[in-house]
Amino acid sequence: MRWLVTGAHGMLGTDLVDRLRSTGEDVTTASRASLDLTAADAIAAAVDGHDVVVNCAAWTAVDDAEEHEEDALAVNGEGPRLLARAAATSGARIVQVSTDYVFDGAATAPYAEDAPHSPVSAYAVDQTNGQLELLGDIYDSAPYGYVVAKDQTDFAQAIADAVKSLIDDGTYETVLKKWGVEGGAITDPAVNPAG
C-alpha cells in the first residue's frame, strides 16, 4: 500500500510518517515546501499512484489565521477540496484530520459527529470549510466515519491503525463497525456517550 502524507513535517505528520514507516509502509511525504495545497495540477501529480492520502497539512496558527484569513482559507478550505478531487480521480482513499474548533465550545456534553458546525473564528471557519468540502458532492455517496483517539497521546497511531483496517478489510463498512459507526454516526457508548 502506498501512502501520501501531506503536512509531513508538522507535529502530527511527522508522528504519522514515523509510525507508518516503522511498520514497513511505503510512504511519500509532502511538506509545505514541496507541495502547494492551492495548486490543483501539483496536487493531482502528487496523489497519483497512491492508495491512501492523509492530509495532516493545515494552517494551524489560530490567531494568525485572523490576520491572514484568505491564506488560511486556501490551505484549510481549498486544499482539502483539491486533495479530495485528486484522490477521487486516482481511486485513492483520503483521510482528513479535523479539529474541535468546528464547534463553538459551548456544549456541556461531548459533541455528536453530526452536530451542527458553529465556528467562531477565522481558523474555525477555514477548518469547517475544508471538512464540508470533503463531505460534499465528491463523497456524498461514500460511507464515512470518524476516528476518535481514546488515548490522546498517540493520535497518529489511531489514524494509521484505522486506515490500515479499512484497507486490509477492503470495505469502509468493516472499519466503521470496528469503530462503532453506523450510518455516519458513532453508536458505541464507550466512544460517543450520546450515540
Q: What is residue 17's predicted lDDT score, i.e. its pLDDT?
A: 92
* Collapsed DSSP state (helix, strand, coil) of residue 29: strand
CA distance 90 to 48: 6
Q: What is residue 180's predicted lDDT score, i.e. its pLDDT?
A: 42
Q: Is residue 192 part of a domain?
A: no
Q: Is residue 193 part of a domain?
A: no
Q: What is residue 177's predicted lDDT score, i.e. its pLDDT?
A: 45
Count how many domains the chain has. 1
Q: What is residue 195's predicted lDDT score, i.e. its pLDDT?
A: 39
User: Which residues contact residue 108 at a Cβ distance below 8 angstroms, ignoring those fewer than 6 apart?
Assistant: none
Q: Is residue 142 part of a domain?
A: yes
Q: Is 111 a catalytic residue?
A: no
Q: What is residue 40's predicted lDDT score, i.e. its pLDDT?
A: 95
Q: What is residue 44's predicted lDDT score, i.e. its pLDDT?
A: 97
**Any bridge partners for residue 54, and if so which?**
5, 95
Q: What is residue 35's predicted lDDT score, i.e. its pLDDT?
A: 96
CA distance 151 to 154: 6
Q: List the domain range (segments joined by +) for residue 154.
A: 2-186
**Any bridge partners for residue 29, and if so which?**
5
CA distance 52 to 1: 8
Q: Is residue 170 part of a domain?
A: yes
CATH of the domain at 80: 3.40.50.720
From the list 101, 111, 123, 172, the catalytic residue is 123
Q: Is residue 194 part of a domain?
A: no
With a cut of 50, list the residues of the chain below it in pLDDT.
137, 139-152, 171-195
Q: Is residue 77 part of a domain?
A: yes
CA distance 13 to 9: 6
Q: Is residue 113 part of a domain?
A: yes
